[in-house]
Structure 1
């Protein structure tokens, strides 16, 4: 049985850092270790004198219950800071939603109140349940911008590689005029498109009083494992320059505080 840091942290040189990750979720992670979260957890494990051991699970409903809380792994990178169901580390980056447009269109959209949005074909990421839709979907709906909106499933067709890329592809192909996309996804896939795309951070950072467009991102772990959390925080702080370099290499948009 693998020795996890969360359950046996007295031995800070335990053999494995057990990580929960999605095997088909670039730019964050994949089974080949090509995502930026793969690179960051490898860095963390190195500083712990450990190797990374993955529990692969598609990030769908029940993900935490079936991985971290089931005791199969001890660390979930890339979770929103202060999420209710977990303990979280210090943030290691801050990103947000961006408007994605073709550079040759010169649309210059930065706000949901831009009147152009009422006459454009808009793409938004959808989770599939009205109560769980992304903040941009709610922001558009509360302005009555509905009929010209096309939803793109955040998870997409899991049988294909990189399912979240479809919304960025649609902008590049001209199928839609503008998309509102989570920053790390937008930055990574936009850089791979043959057509130049423009990424503009959504402003303001909170839409009304309810819908944040910018999030601090941390590593999640089970509650009541303070020594483990403290060690993760220590490493994230000392490796900040290297982590920043990894994020930059993946074109992750960084937002201010």
Structure 2
């Protein structure tokens, strides 16, 4: 099931185990089902009628993309990886990473399948999971070369109809991102799409491609989710300008700004409560990590 066998020596808190979903490192010993069946069934029935008391965490099983900076990667260089370790340290637990690319089927093949328990960075209210209290808020940004002399502040700017615009085509709800919808509502078509959500290979495209295209003058302007924009803009040799979009769009009705939180399965109420408490206790450290990754943050939504 993608977890560490109990026969292994338990590592100290903060030690990382990475799990390959294709080649699990170990398998648990099978016990006689006839002996355990009635006990397991009784426990399941009891669980349907009464709440389960919180149990101490020994493994903090994190769902992550192995190739999606600045969010996460399999070398644990992303801000989600760093935040996961803050959470694990607070809970005296061990981080175990379960890697699955954020492509079609990501939730179905990771947290909803039971291979991992926590998503570190999801929008508040993401339907398939239960979300914790928010720990930051960001929005989409125009990104363009500073030397182009553009002065974009709104999707209603008529200049956009004459520019080559890049957008990431897939959002958290697995449809086109809000800026793509909003531009379509204004008759702005011919967008240059980045990201291949249907390809299961996490290296099929690169997270920085959309910002690189602006720097190389392949496109005139990109509209990029804030954390990705801030991180990659800072790493370009060419000066780039970032301008935030408003919280929402009156024409399309699409939100552009999102409160971001952690996600768990709906039934994992005790785990959600633990994560809420960690966010309260360690908010300063979490925000400091986000700043280290140049994540542009808005005031939290009331």
TM norm. shorter chain > 0.5: yes
- CA-to-aligned-CA distance 1:150-201 (integer Å, 9 cap, x gap): 1112659846497121110011111111100111111111111000111110
- CA-to-aligned-CA distance 1:86-130 (integer Å, 9 cap, x gap): 1111011111110001112231212100121111111111139xx
Give the 5 Å matches for 1:1-257: 2=4, 10-12=54-56, 14-127=57-170, 132-147=175-190, 149-153=191-195, 158=201, 160=203, 163-208=206-251, 210-256=253-299, 257=301
- How far apart are 1:65 and its partner, in Å? 1.4
* 1:100/1:179 contact within 8 Å kept: yes
SS in 1 for 2:144: strand
User: Structure 1 residues 51, 233: CA separation in 2 closer, same or farther (over 3 Å shift)?
Assistant: same
- Count how many residue pairs are aligned between Structure 1 and Structure 2: 249
- CA–CA distance in structure 1, aligned partners of residues 286 and 205 of structure 2: 23
With CA pairs under 8 Å and 6+ residues apart, which has the higher RCO, 1 or 2? 1
* 1:125/1:154 contact within 8 Å kept: no
- CA–CA distance in structure 1, aligned partners of residues 205 and 75 of structure 2: 13
SS in 2 for 1:66: coil
Q: Which runs of 5+ in 1 are unaligned?
A: none
- How far apart are 1:11 and its partner, in Å? 3.2
Larger Rg: 2
- CA-to-aligned-CA distance 1:9-54 (integer Å, 9 cap, x gap): 7332x32101111100110000000000000010000000011001
- CA–CA distance in structure 2, aligned partners of residues 165 and 175 of structure 1: 14
- CA–CA distance in structure 2, aligned partners of residues 52 and 241 of structure 1: 21
Q: State the 4+ residue runs in structure 1 displaced beyond 6 angstroms.
A: none
Question: Once superposed, what is the RMSD of the aligned Cα atoms?
Answer: 2.1
SS in 2 for 1:117: helix
> Greater CA deviation, 187-196 or 114-123?
114-123
* 1:139/1:207 contact within 8 Å kept: no
User: Structure 1 residues 207, 153: CA separation in 2 closer, same or farther (over 3 Å shift)?
Assistant: farther
SS in 1 for 2:143: strand
Q: Please state which structure has a larger fraction of its residues in strand.
A: 1
User: Structure 1 residues 209, 141: CA separation in 2 closer, same or farther (over 3 Å shift)?
Assistant: closer
- CA–CA distance in structure 2, aligned partners of residues 204 and 220 of structure 1: 22
Q: Which runs of 5+ in 2 are unaligned?
A: 7-51
SS in 1 for 2:108: helix
Instruction: Output the TM-score relative to the length of structure 1.
Output: 0.90
